[in-house]
Amino acid sequence: MQTILNTSDDPAHDSLVEKKSEFIGDAAHVDTLDEALAFVAAIREQHPKARHVAYAALCGGADGRLSERMSDDGEPSGTAGKPILDVLKQSGTTDCVVAVTRYFGGILLGSGGLVRAYSSAASLAMKAARAARIMTAKRYRVRLEYPQLARFQQILAQLGGNQEDESYAVNVELTAVVPQDDCVRFEERVREAFNAAVVPDPIDVVNIPIPFA
């Protein structure tokens, strides 16, 4: 699977004109479908005179399940949202939303013409995006004593993991993210290093975007 790195504040963008109708594609990375809906709402605000803002979004996949949402936004059923969603699926892209804004040019395109136009606009937006591969990882909550911190961070780095946040009080509490393929070794190494006194607590499985070299 892959995703894109463009944020909702700086989406990938391209457009085309088909029989005087303009189709504007915008694509952005999102972590949830709620974020996708917020992105589409922002696009609508940018184009108050547009006839339609159709969209599709795909999220998830870290746990083997994908969530999707789409809308034709008043176009004939199946002529706008589904073609956009098909572009995402065929490219193997998740954690992404594509909105296609249409300014009607006065000439009807027919169902086939609409499908081609919305699909093409979505494809153009995706081609303009910065693609990244997805690494599936597991997130852990870990509690450590201060003298244990440096050794733990060394183990984490050796296995390609990273630290998201930490808090310092009587003990150190932090969140560690480890590539899923290395999780068993990570848990074993931590257990051995601290004689089972430190036990990483799994929180969830997440998608981590890694830019292509």
Q: Which domains does the chain have, with CATH numbers?
A: 1-128 (3.30.230.30), 135-209 (3.30.70.240)
Q: Tell whether the model's pLDDT for residue 149 goes beyond 70.
A: yes
Q: How many Cβ atoms sit within 10 Å of the Cβ of residue 147? A: 8
Which of the four pLDDT bands, split at 50, 70 and 90, describes residue 213? low
Mean pLDDT throughout 45-52? 96
3-state secondary structure of 80: coil
pLDDT at 88: 97
Q: What is the pTM of this model?
A: 0.84
pLDDT digits (tens, 9 = 90+) for 129-138: 999 999 999 9
Question: By the 8 A CB rule, do 198 and 144 touch?
Answer: yes
Which of the four pLDDT bands, split at 50, 70 and 90, describes residue 63? confident
Report, in this order, helix, strand and coil percent for the chain, each rounded to 5: 35, 40, 30
Q: Tell whether the model's pLDDT for residue 86 goes beyond 90.
A: yes
pLDDT digits (tens, 9 = 90+) for 64-85: 789 999 999 999 999 999 999 9
